[in-house]
Amino acid sequence: MSSYFTDLAQQYIDGEWRPGTGSWDIIDFNPYDDEKLASITIATVDEVDEAYRAAARAQKKWAGTNPYARRAVFEKALRLIEDREGEIAEAIVAELGGTRLKAGFELHLAKEFLREAVNLALRPEGRIIPSPVDGKENRVYRVPVGVVGVISPFNFPFLLSIKSVAPALALGNAVVLKPHQNTPIVGGSLVAKIFEDAGLPAGLLNVVITDIAEIGDAFLEHPVPKVISFTGSDKVGRHVATVCAQHFKRSVLELGGNSALVVLEDADIDYAVDAAVFSRYVHQGQVCMAANRVLVDRTVAEEFTDKFVAKVRTLKTGDPRDPETVIGPIINSSQAEAVSGAVEQAIADGATALIHGARRDNLVEPSVLTDLPANSPLLKQEIFGPVALLVTFDGEEEAVRLVNDTPYGLSGAVHTANIERGVAFAKQIDTGMFHVNDGTVHDEPIVPFGGEKHSGIGRLNGDTMLDSFTTTKWISVQHGRSGFPF
């Protein structure tokens, strides 16, 4: 594992590993024990420019490459991940503070998305469209956009980098990837190393490890990329969308959430408890689809609450390297402080803490809050940490109102003995995704993934990747002579 943090602590531009030329370093820490993993001199605006220019030079030839040949790169990348799975898992545990369970989950999905990229290379199809003009043939081609800029987050960096990088490349584009500063290796240079070893030609994937304090909006404003794929907070996403619109770029935004898991009066309570605990506390709650709010019908609230609290008390907080650990560290001290501060503020505003988790450095133990005032800001916002909010309701109509009473609309779930009742409930919720009798945290390679409202713009996965990373071109052919009015 350690070799990743020494060998890959560099920029990757035009097929070359090299240090950045900035005046300061990004220090990569293990969030559990503060061990220094790597020191990376940041990329400057000039290096961002070099990366985009290299991508533009390499892209034309790649787009003209037989898609069956392009596909072979992704098949090799998949085999490399399988061969190095143990090492990559160790890196995820070290750099993210992810548990071993989380590392396995992330690697499983990353492999699934690479398998889909293998097929995606062959997916673009053209069309012949009829014309009202005699002798005219309308051909509509689906072509790569050119160069895609990808900005990935810290919570699932390996998966969420691959999720945009692999489809964009498979469809004939080149990519410049900017990983999050807290996960520069797993989310950035490790991805580049895998594709380099898989035989991807130089220049097609570039990684710049940097900070907006150094480059400002240069990554977004650069004239080369035609699409920016961003995964992160809605606050930053709003800025990304604004800058992209000003420069006539397409933005694909996968943003935050405030998902609810709803327990109707006829639900299987034990099963709903299991689903809710997983949906809230997986990866310390640092998941955009996590169930911030657990809404329970008043008639079953006492039974559900007792069982929910009992199960949460069994979750072990500690060293993510310990296979028994469920709750590892929050990604950094400022995030940990924000989570603890939100709990304290909610209690000060009148909430009851059924479990009041303590904070030890970046370790934040689980909390369960109830009796929140209806106007509590916490009910409307995303909590990127291990804090569950239990809310009771009286009947489905109120449940629907409460679920929708948030600026976000990413995921959610409902539990009921009547599947069609659950589907009817789901149709009333303003989200991009909703699940009946399951958890709120799901992602599958061929199912459209994305949110409504402040949770994003556009979709990823499956055929929606064509909409995100290709464009259409109309070429008409006039057989015979066309007539003109003058």
Residues noted as catalytic:
254, 288
Position 481, amino acid: R
Question: Using CA atoms, how far apart are residues 385 and 98, in angstroms rounded to an integer?
Answer: 13
Q: Of all residues in the chain, what percent are helix, strand and coil, respectively (each to 5)? A: 40, 20, 35
327 secondary structure, DSSP code: B
Question: Using CA atoms, how far apart are residues 157 and 180, in angstroms rounded to an integer?
Answer: 8
Longest dimension (CA), the chain: 83
Question: Using CA atoms, how far apart are residues 431 and 257, in angstroms rounded to an integer?
Answer: 10
Position 246, amino acid: Q
Contact 394, 414 (CB under 8 A): no
Question: Using CA atoms, how far apart are residues 324 and 455, in angstroms rounded to an integer?
Answer: 33
Question: Using CA atoms, how far apart are residues 376 and 389, in angstroms rounded to an integer?
Answer: 11
In DSSP terms, 456 is beta-bridged to 254
Closest by CA to 59, choosing from 156, 173, 157, is 173
Question: Using CA atoms, how far apart are residues 455 and 124, in angstroms rounded to an integer?
Answer: 28
What are 265's two structure tokens? 């009066």
Question: Using CA atoms, how far apart are residues 284 and 327, in angstroms rounded to an integer?
Answer: 5
Helix (H) or strand (E) holding 28: strand 25-29
Instruction: Give backbone dihedrals phi and psi of 368, rounded to 5 degrees, phi first.
Output: -130, 120
Instruction: Give backbone dihedrals phi and psi of 37, rounded to 5 degrees, phi first.
Output: -90, -40
